[in-house]
Structure 1
Amino acid sequence: MTQNNCLTALLIASSLPGLAHAGFIGDSKGSLELRNFYFNRDFRQPDARDKAEEWAQGFLLRLESGYTDGTLGVGIDATGLLGLKLDSGDGTAGSGLLPADRAGGSQDEYAKLDLTAKFRTGKSTLRIGSLAFRSPIVSSNDSRLLPASFRGALLNVQEIDRLTLQGGRIDRIKANNSTDYSEMSASRIGGDSDAFVFGGGDYRFTPELSAGLHYGNLQDIYQQYYGTLTHLKALGAGQSLKTDLRLAKSREDGSFRDLDNQALGAMLTYSLNGHAFGAGYQRMSGDDPFPYIASSDPYLVNFIQINDFANVDERSWQARYDYNFAAIGLPGLTFMSRYVSGDNVRVGARNDGKEWERNTDIAYVVQQGPLQNLGIRWRNASVRSNFGNDLNENRLILSYSLALW
């Protein structure tokens, strides 16, 4: 749906005061998020550039209507995004915060407007236009100054108790640092496609156990089947054990190229009061890496700050620790550290590729007072590899969210 179509839906809804004012206006909400982002990536190998380093300010205005009354409710959402360059020295562009300019640097500013028409009947919703959502088969990325989005239609159905169905079609992607929609391609695989069709469902057998099955088809590039199983077992006061299992099978679609990948992922997390101890394993099998839409997020247990550990034949292990300081009377303060090691990567004719990544994440959100909702987050990462980049990375993010009404 184009922006003109979305505006037409808004005008129609607002021209019906008996319908619109009850829910369309009354249930509407607006918010403004300010996001200040510093990014520094230091390349450690001798034959690489020195670093990518930029500092930028983002403004995210989100306006959401309610739904008109009646059997079929109609609404519209609008998101206005603005990114401003604060600093980007000579030769340090390319952080993903800002669009590139023609001189090899970054543009001083960029803006985008995303519009979505939405429809609701019963417990089902249909959204058409700009889409930002997460699912096991496709997820939009929000790891930079401004979020990425898709263009298409998304249907969510929850008419049956404990069953959630989701499906849709997207035809374009707008990357984090882009103002325009572009054709989709597959990460590491390549190709161009103007259609991704997907569908699936998740069923909650008990409050503790749920399973899902999803399918996606990036037209002329790949087909993918994804199964999930999650279980949360209470072990006593303040204790639990969460099991997260994921299995995907991918193959070619059309005549682009042969493609074969199987991905297995498992994550166990033991929680004790404010502590969480996690252990994960991920295995790639087949002749190709795990395919997913470039500039989106893959649903992999070892997809972390920089790497996805999804190379051909790669095996990877994760150790993770989280702590929520609310357990000792400091709500809003959290800490996370994890380490992932991968090996057996096929490099040329041999399976001798190795890599590792270490992440640290410390965040605090002010809980009350005049600075309530002010957040600060520091993300640190180190990566070492015998077939890819060696790098250190720091991200410092200041954010503030304000409800407008």
Structure 2
Amino acid sequence: MTVTTKTRLSALAVGAGLCLPTLALADFIKDSKATLSMRNFYFNNDYREQTSSAGSKLAEWGQGFVLDYKSGFTDGTLGFGLDAQALLGLTLDSGSGRHQGSTMIPSESNGDAVDQWSHAGVTGKVRLSKTELRYGNLQPKLPILVSNDGRLLPQTFEGGMITSNEIDGLKLTAGRLEHVVGRASTNRTGMAVSGGTQESNEFWFGGADYTINDQLTAQYYYANLEDYYKQHFAGLVHVYPISKDQSFKTDLRYFKTDADGANDSAAGRAAGYKVGGYSNGTNGKIDNDTWSAIFTYALGGHSFTAGYQSVSDNSNFVQLNQGGLVNEGAGGASLYLFTDRLISTFTRAGEQTRFGQYAYNFSQVGIPGLTASVTYLKGTGIEATSGSDTKEWERDIAVDYVVQSGTFKGVGFGWRNGMLRTNVSGDYDQDQNRLIVSYSLPLL
């Protein structure tokens, strides 16, 4: 790091804390950290039998930069701090016929890919004992909301969140979100679900993670997206250590999601407060139970996973997804489900999914930093207006390597390959490849 860079970042920290007493700034500056994360991403998706005017293939290449600054906390009973984040995406290649929507890169008004896009956010934070309040730019990773980071830039939210670890083994979380900026967007929007065309600016959530002992953790969370849904989540994770290099993990998850506000009335759904897909004659009413059981046996560098997921048949499973809103790049969401894969999520009404995965860590054979996995999922029993025997399957391959030493230490290389085959009306068979090079540079 150059002296000039360090000086500028230190000046930023001091400037951000001018409103605080001078002596209190000691830890605010001393504990500050700044990193520049870089991600080079090539995305290729072949829709095979699609014959739209946009073409049947998406092929784009971009470069993303994320500058993260995290301050320490001031001295005193109440500690104050400030975080800041700046995000920039650059289009390296996206020619005519290879850009579809805003899956990877935002679109201009004429449908072409933009040359660049960016946005920034600031987060104020306050700490009291083992409790921390954050307000501003957030990237939650909770069972009821997972910030998506599946392209060049991460999805970010605006709102407040409090976490408390005052009781040993018990973590409490609560908050309220108002806006979101999509992973391929410069615009902030309200919130919705897949298929919804109206915005909501009220997402309340709260929950607890309780570590019962070294092997067993229990979770409960509640979320409410005003005028769309209320969701309860219960989870149980148990890890049984068989021997020094063997273990068996059981992961049980259950979601119960019901209509809220406008979504619970025919008039509200007609106005756009609805979920897409099959909804048992209700034109978009949310009514869903989804549960899954996941079992993983680990032996040395080997990991074998098998499981089952069941989605009830009145509507699709839902969590936040802004894809139906009229804003560039607003779509793109992650779900706290094992079935949320490269291409499909296996969350359609009535869908019953069986899945398996094999993963290997090559450090066991003297190649640290290299990992690989192959996953297969098959979903059947999907409720659809197009008829019976509706099903889909997906096979994913992932290979990752992080350089362990030398000039390029810390540089990561990743390859993702996905194959989806489906007879769901309106969907297409897809073959997808992603090539990713990433690196994080500490600045402060």
Same fold (TM over 0.5): yes
Aligned match of 2:443: 404
Which of 100, 111, 114 in structure 2 is aligned with 1:104?
111
Cα distance, 1:323–1:27 mapped onto 2, change above 3 Å? same
Q: Conserved in 2, the CA contact under 8 Å of 1:189 and 1:291?
A: no
Does 2:12 correspond to 1:26?
A: no
Cα distance, 1:376–1:286 mapped onto 2, change above 3 Å? same
State the secondary structure of the residue aligned to 2:379.
Answer: strand
Does 2:67 correspond to 1:58?
A: no
Question: Partner letter of residue 386 of structure 1?
Answer: N
Question: Partner letter of residue 20 of structure 1?
Answer: L
Q: Deviations over 1:339-368 (max 9, x none)?
A: 110010011174421001111000100111
Q: How does 1:107-118 map to 2 (within 5 A)?
A: 107-118=114-125
Aligned match of 1:173: 180
2:352 and 2:195 map into 1 onto residues whose CA distance is 18
Does 2:80 correspond to 1:74?
A: yes
Number of aligned residue pairs: 398
Q: How does 1:346-361 map to 2 (within 5 A)?
A: 346-348=383-385, 350-361=387-398
- Higher strand share goes to which structure? 1
Q: Deviations over 1:32-62 (max 9, x none)?
A: 1111110000011153532011101111111
Which of 183, 189, 199 in structure 2 is aligned with 1:192?
199
User: Offset at 1:299?
Assistant: 1.1
State the secondary structure of the residue aligned to 1:159.
Answer: strand
1:382 and 1:341 map into 2 onto residues whose CA distance is 12
Aligned match of 1:232: 239
Q: Conserved in 2, the CA contact under 8 Å of 1:151 and 1:170?
A: yes
Cα distance, 1:201–1:100 mapped onto 2, change above 3 Å? same
Q: Conserved in 2, the CA contact under 8 Å of 1:149 and 1:174?
A: yes
2:428 and 2:21 map into 1 onto residues whose CA distance is 58
Cα distance, 1:13–1:263 mapped onto 2, change above 3 Å? farther
Q: Conserved in 2, the CA contact under 8 Å of 1:226 and 1:249?
A: yes
Cα distance, 1:9–1:250 mapped onto 2, change above 3 Å? farther
Does 2:84 correspond to 1:91?
A: no
Identity, % of aligned pairs? 40
State the secondary structure of the residue aligned to 2:24.
Answer: helix
State the secondary structure of the residue aligned to 1:83.
Answer: strand
Does 2:434 correspond to 1:395?
A: yes
Note the residue ranges of structure 1 that are not aligned, 5 or more in a row.
1-6
State the secondary structure of the residue aligned to 1:158.
Answer: strand
State the secondary structure of the residue aligned to 2:23.
Answer: helix
Q: How does 1:7-26 map to 2 (within 5 A)?
A: 11-12=16-17, 15-21=20-26, 23-26=27-30
Q: Conserved in 2, the CA contact under 8 Å of 1:10 and 1:75?
A: no
Q: Deviations over 1:359-385 (max 9, x none)?
A: 100010011111111011001101110
Deviates more, 1:251-260 or 1:101-110: 251-260
Question: Partner letter of residue 403 of structure 2?
Answer: V
Q: Conserved in 1, the CA contact under 8 Å of 2:350 and 2:382?
A: yes
1:199 and 1:46 map into 2 onto residues whose CA distance is 42
State the secondary structure of the residue aligned to 1:255.
Answer: helix
Q: Deviations over 1:176-233 (max 9, x none)?
A: 0111210111124554211100001011111110101100000011000000000000
Aligned match of 1:124: 131
Aligned match of 1:302: 339
2:196 and 2:132 map into 1 onto residues whose CA distance is 33
Q: Conserved in 2, the CA contact under 8 Å of 1:37 and 1:396?
A: yes
Which of 262, 278, 297 in structure 2 is aligned with 1:255?
262
1:134 and 1:333 map into 2 onto residues whose CA distance is 25
Question: Partner letter of residue 301 of structure 2?
Answer: G
Q: How does 1:279-298 map to 2 (within 5 A)?
A: 279-294=306-321, 295-298=332-335
Deviates more, 1:48-57 or 1:393-402: 48-57
Does 2:47 correspond to 1:43?
A: yes
Does 2:248 correspond to 1:241?
A: yes
User: Offset at 1:29?
Assistant: 0.5
Aligned match of 2:328: none
Cα distance, 1:214–1:351 mapped onto 2, change above 3 Å? farther
Aligned match of 1:147: 154
Does 2:332 correspond to 1:332?
A: no
Question: Partner letter of residue 19 of structure 1?
Answer: A
2:240 and 2:394 map into 1 onto residues whose CA distance is 30
State the secondary structure of the residue aligned to 1:112.
Answer: strand
Q: TM-score, normalised by structure 1?
A: 0.95
Q: Conserved in 1, the CA contact under 8 Å of 2:50 and 2:428?
A: no
Q: TM-score, normalised by structure 2?
A: 0.87
Q: Conserved in 2, the CA contact under 8 Å of 1:129 and 1:153?
A: yes
Aligned match of 1:4: none
